[in-house]
Amino acid sequence: MKSNKTVEEINKKIRQGDAVVITAEEVSKMALTLSPEEIINEVDVVTTATFGPMCSSGAFLNFGHSDPPIRMEEISLNNVPASGGLAAVDTFIGATETAKDDPYYGGAHVIYDLIDGKDVLLKARAKGTDCYPRKEIDTYINKKEINEMILFNPRNAYQNYPAATNTTSSTKYTYMGILLPGLGNVTYSTSGELSPLLNDPELRTIGIGTKILLGGAEGFVAWNGTQFNTVRPKNKFGIPTINAATLAVIGNMKDMSTEFIRPAVYEKYGVSIFVGIGIPIPLLNKDIVRTVSIRNEQIETTICDYGRNGHPALGKTNYQQLQSGYIELGGERIQTAPLSSLYKARIIAEDLKNRIQRKKFFLTEPVQLFPKNTSLNGLKIRGKDYE
What number of chain residues touch other proteins (CB under 8 A)? 33
Q: Is 95 among the residues that bind other proteins (CB under 8 A)?
A: no
Give the one residue of 21, 253, 281, 342 binding other proteins; rule: CB under 8 A. Answer: 342
Q: What's the DSSP call for residue 236?
A: T
Give the one residue of 124, 198, 339, 352 binding other proteins; rule: CB under 8 A. Answer: 339
Q: What's the DSSP call for residue 98?
A: B
- Exposure class string for 39-76: b at 16+ Cβ within 10 A, else e: bbeebbbbbbbbbbbbbbbbbbbbbeeeeebbbbeebb
Cβ proximity to other proteins: between 104 and 140 the closer is 104
Please state whether beta strands 270-282 and 261-266 pair in parallel, antiparallel, or not at all (unpaired): antiparallel
Q: Is 156 among the residues that bind other proteins (CB under 8 A)?
A: no
Give the one residue of 91, 230, 317, 340 binding other proteins; rule: CB under 8 A. Answer: 340
Burial class (CB within 10 angstroms; exposed 0-12, middle 13-18, buried 19+) of 214: buried
Give the one residue of 64, 85, 325, 371 binding other proteins; rule: CB under 8 A. Answer: 325
Cβ neighbours for 157, distance < 8 A, ≥ 6 positions apart: 50, 54, 195, 196, 197, 225, 246, 247, 249, 277, 279
Q: Is 332 among the residues that bind other proteins (CB under 8 A)?
A: no
The helix/strand/coil state of 252 is: strand
Closest CA to 369 of 243, 209, 141, 249: 209
The helix/strand/coil state of 343 is: helix
Q: Is 131 a catalytic residue?
A: yes
Q: Is 187 among the residues that bind other proteins (CB under 8 A)?
A: yes
Cβ proximity to other proteins: between 295 and 344 the closer is 344
Cβ proximity to other proteins: between 68 and 117 the closer is 117
Q: Is 324 among the residues that bind other proteins (CB under 8 A)?
A: yes
Residues 261-320 touching other proteins, rule: CB under 8 A, are 262-267, 272, 274
Q: Is 3 among the residues that bind other proteins (CB under 8 A)?
A: no
Q: Which region among 6-14, 209-217, 226-234, 256-264 touches other proteins (by CB under 8 A)?
A: 256-264
Q: Is 139 among the residues that bind other proteins (CB under 8 A)?
A: no
Cβ proximity to other proteins: between 35 and 335 the closer is 335
Among residues 1, 32, 87, 131, the one annotated as catalytic is 131
**Residue 249 near residue 165 (C-beta atoms within 8 A):** no
Number of helical H runs and strand E runs in the chain: 8, 22
Distance CA 69, CA 66 (A): 5
CB of 25 to other proteins, least distance (A): 11
Q: Is 346 among the residues that bind other proteins (CB under 8 A)?
A: yes
Q: Is 18 among the residues that bind other proteins (CB under 8 A)?
A: no
Virtual torsion, Cα 326, 238, 190, 19, nearest 10 deg: -120
Q: Is 170 among the residues that bind other proteins (CB under 8 A)?
A: no
Q: What is the CA radius of gyration of the chain?
A: 23
Q: Which region among 31-39, 58-66, 258-266, 351-359 touches other proteins (by CB under 8 A)?
A: 258-266
Q: How many CB atoms lie within 10 A of CB 341?
A: 18
Distance CA 348, CA 280 (A): 11
Give the one residue of 47, 243, 291, 341 binding other proteins; rule: CB under 8 A. Answer: 341
Distance CA 324, CA 344 (A): 18
Give the one residue of 62, 168, 185, 320 binding other proteins; rule: CB under 8 A. Answer: 185
Cβ proximity to other proteins: between 53 and 154 the closer is 53
Residues 41-60 touching other proteins, rule: CB under 8 A, are 51-53
> What residues are labeled active site?
131
Binding region for other proteins (CB under 8 A)? 51-53, 104, 173, 177-180, 185, 187, 262-267, 272, 274, 323-325, 335-344, 346
